[in-house]
Amino acid sequence: MRDVKQAMCEIGQHVLDASGILNSKQVDSFIGALLSAKRVFVIGAGRSGLVAKAFAMRLMHLGLDIHVVGETITPALREGDILVVVSGSGETGLPVSAAKVAKKIGAKILAVTTYPKSSLASIADIVVILPGRAKTESTTDFVHRELAGEYASLAPLGTMFEITAIVFLDGVVASLMTSLGKKEEDLRARHATVE
């Protein structure tokens, strides 16, 4: 039980800290691009892919023309479309490859990543930087922490980025709701009825 509470506090504090250092210009550009989009596509790999899909669901609830890359019913990406790419490292193969293809087609690339100097960030038109885990755990780190009486992070691998990304994107949805004049009832009306 103690580990659960400790992990929740650690993750929650990370999200709060991240909200305090968000770059307002990056966020405003990200939201502005979505507001002016005719069609939006999203992609991510692994857990970042699940975050992207959750965001796509909310955009659909808002009435946007939204598609998830890789689904069997996803239409062709065209010039002028938007591709939102969620990748903590900004180096994950499939999302970065998709962004490169989208760029050649003439789509606008919106990236959510931790690394401003990543391959993804270098080709994106708009980049929102979210802090993730600073570094991975090593044996040296473990020994140092044991001697200092410290504990290891209870949020392994990409957890900090993924949780921060989903909370950030839900914040974007809240902003879009306000800008579009939508209420929760409007979103509920587009919610799945067959599940």
The residues annotated with a catalytic role in the active site are 162
Distances (CA, A) of 84 to 1, 35, 67, 146, 155: 37, 13, 10, 41, 25
Taking each helix axis as running N to C, give the angle between helix 2-21 and helix 159-180, from 0 to 180 degrees, rounded to the nearest 10: 50
From the list 97, 90, 30, the residue with the least C-alpha distance to 70 is 97
Which helix or strand (DSSP H or E) is residue 53 part of? helix 46-61
Distances (CA, A) of 194 to 65, 153, 175, 190: 20, 40, 28, 12
From the list 31, 51, 30, the residue with the least C-alpha distance to 177 is 31
